[in-house]
Structure 1
């Protein structure tokens, strides 16, 4: 049982090591992390419902997940072949496309949730003045 627990702890260590590497070396991942912090801050300020929070957290998770998988595919592909290869190029482009789809989906979710709240807030500010 102890060996099992030690093995699990080591796997967490490797997972955190991978996260740290991606967020310290990959500019797109850094951008997504910054966007995550901004979106979470806005979400807190706008007092989202539980369902809205769930939607935002799922959208963020999907974007970060896709970014991590894209980076893993790119690094593995670069290790396999440093030369330009059409099949590797397709794999890398498809992985990047997955990040794009995830990001666009997250943007739409954010617009659907935030736009009415921001418009209501803005209308309250205008009415007060």
Structure 2
């Protein structure tokens, strides 16, 4: 069987990544809320004509929250698969993973407040 080209492999990787992102959005309630919030602040960005620097910070904040939420979901699903019964060690992993989402969410909210509070006043 001939080896696939680099380009074919990259296109397959992108297809799998898009599929994973869509699965995440379709199946996880928390990511749906975060996507909606991301769309709202994006609309606010256009409305208030935020600066390039503000756009960069906002996009990074949104991406960080969504990315860490995706990792949190993967960790939780993997933990449930490996240990379906209650296990204190698995609970610890899940709590730490959820805590990471909380930390980046708070940081993203602070970024949003720094950008938008002056725009409203």
TM-score, with structure 1 as normaliser: 0.89
In the alignment, structure 1 segments of 5+ residues that lack a partner are: 120-129
In the alignment, structure 2 segments of 5+ residues that lack a partner are: none
1:29 — aligned with what?
31
Deviant stretches of 4+, over 2 Å = none
- Give the CA deviation at 1:4: 1.3
2:48 — aligned with what?
46
2:59 — aligned with what?
57
Q: What is the RMSD of the two structures over their aligned residues, measured on CA atoms?
A: 1.1
CA distance in 2 between counterparts of 1:53 and 1:17 reads: 26
2:77 — aligned with what?
75
- Give the CA deviation at 1:115: 0.3
Higher-Rg structure is: 1
Aligned length: 119
Q: Secondary structure at the match of 2:86?
A: coil
Q: Secondary structure at the match of 1:82?
A: coil
- For 1:1-129, what aligned pairs fall within 5 Å after superposition? 3-119=5-121
